[in-house]
Amino acid sequence: MLAGIAAELRGALGILAKRDVQIPARYLSGKPGAGGAAGAGDAAGASGAACAIDAVHRPAALGDDCAAIPDGDGYLLLAAEGIWPTFLEGDPRFAGYSAVMVNVSDIYAMGGRPIAVVDVVWGTSAGALEPVWEGMVAASRAYGVPIVGGHTSARSPYNALAVAIAGRARRLITSFAARPGDVLVAAIDLRGRMHAEHPFWNASTGTDPARLRGDLEVLPALAEAGLCDAGKDISMGGVAGTLLMLLETSGVGAVLDVAAVPRPGDARDLSIARWMLAFPSYGFLLSVRPDAAGAVLAAFARRGIASAAVGAVDGSRRLTLEAAGERQTLWDLSAEPLTGFAGEGAR
């Protein structure tokens, strides 16, 4: 069973698309001609914020959910996300909603709070833009994050959407701070449903906005209390792809108990592999020091969010899946990079 799950995850578009990030990783390293991006580019849509400031003034390591720029006694956070064209064509309103939602999640994943978003929207007609804007405004109101500018055109030969966000953090949760011995904690809001066509778990639309905002406040509260400094939001690569990116940037490995990952109890036909690749509207993977794990789990439990210890970080630089006493290597980052963004421990 585990070998089949591993094979399905390795071949998943949501994970393979992350290899496209090797292209900016090469250029931002200052070596655009240094080697090829092995296997890069099976699909568009890989995400990962990068701060293109020259090496002398570069404020933070590249490859995190947001660029983190030191600012006074905290950090200015900047991030951007492009929306998968197939998703935009098939469900433009939810695509507009999700464009804001995923950026908000990136800010909170870094221990920050959002300030405002800007958008770039291209459409073939005014009619094509209407549902996209309806969705963006609905998410802006739900999360209390204003849309303050951007670019809109209804005279394009295609439809396209990207949104960028600014935020601020007092203390950071980053992708570069996972350590061997850490406990992996997955927190997912299971009070939702799967999208009819795409691998998205929607626990946001129709939910009380006050609850949405309060649930997200758990992340900066954990950072500011010194309970967590390492993690990511669960992105289009699902739990598996997100964990691979976290391990790569931190230069570590991990064992993941796939059966321990919080999963909907009544979702028929939702296989473990499909769930491991799903993008939840509220989902975070944290690397936590063992003495803080109980407090982190309790913080999510107080908000009614399903969370669990799902594995442990080690120094192997491999992601190993575990279930019922069986183990299977999913990815060896020392042999095959994923995004190409790696911390000092991986060099």
Q: Does residue 257 carry a pLDDT above 80?
A: yes
Identify the pLDDT of residue 313. Answer: 98
Identify the pLDDT of residue 34. Answer: 45
Identify the pLDDT of residue 47. Answer: 46
Structure-token pair, residue 238: 């699902």
- 339: closest CA among 18, 3, 16, 11? 18
Identify the pLDDT of residue 41. Answer: 31
Distances (CA, A) of 344 to 62, 96, 205, 249, 341: 12, 37, 40, 8, 10
Q: Does residue 33 carry a pLDDT above 90?
A: no
Quote the CA–CA distance of 138 and 94 in Å, as a whole number: 10
Mean pLDDT across 5-22: 85
Identify the pLDDT of residue 301. Answer: 98
Q: What is the DSSP code string of 207-219? A: S-HHHHHHHHTHH
Residue type at position 314: D
Q: Does residue 162 carry a pLDDT above 90?
A: yes
Q: Does residue 19 carry a pLDDT above 90?
A: no
Contact 87, 100 (CB under 8 A): no
Identify the pLDDT of residue 267. Answer: 61
Residue 319's region, left for phi above 0, alpha for psi from -120 to 50, else beta, is: beta
Q: What is the tens place of the pLDDT at every residue in 170-220?
A: 999 999 999 999 999 999 999 999 998 888 999 999 999 999 999 999 999
Any residues with CB less than 8 A from the CB of 64 and at least 6 apart, and which?
A: 48, 49, 110, 174, 175, 176, 249
**Which percentage of the chain shows pLDDT scores above 70?**
88
Q: Which residue has the higher pLDDT, 272 or 68?
A: 68
Beta-carbon count within 10 A of 170 CB:
14
Mean pLDDT across 19-31: 82
Maximum average pLDDT range among 11-25, 48-62, 78-92, 263-277: 78-92
Average pLDDT, the chain: 89
Beta-carbon count within 10 A of 346 CB:
17
Identify the pLDDT of residue 52. Answer: 36
Q: Does residue 152 carry a pLDDT above 90?
A: yes
Mean pLDDT across 215-242: 96
Angle in degrees, 0-180, between the axes of helices 126-143 and 92-109, rounded to the nearest 10: 40
- 12: closest CA among 290, 293, 279? 279
Mean pLDDT across 282-293: 98
For residues 230, 247, 18, 338, the Cα torsion angle rounded to the nearest 10 degrees is 150
Would you mind telling me the total number of residues written for the chain in this entry? 347
Tally of helices (H runs) and strands (E runs) in the chain: 11, 15
Give the three-state DSSP class for 166: strand
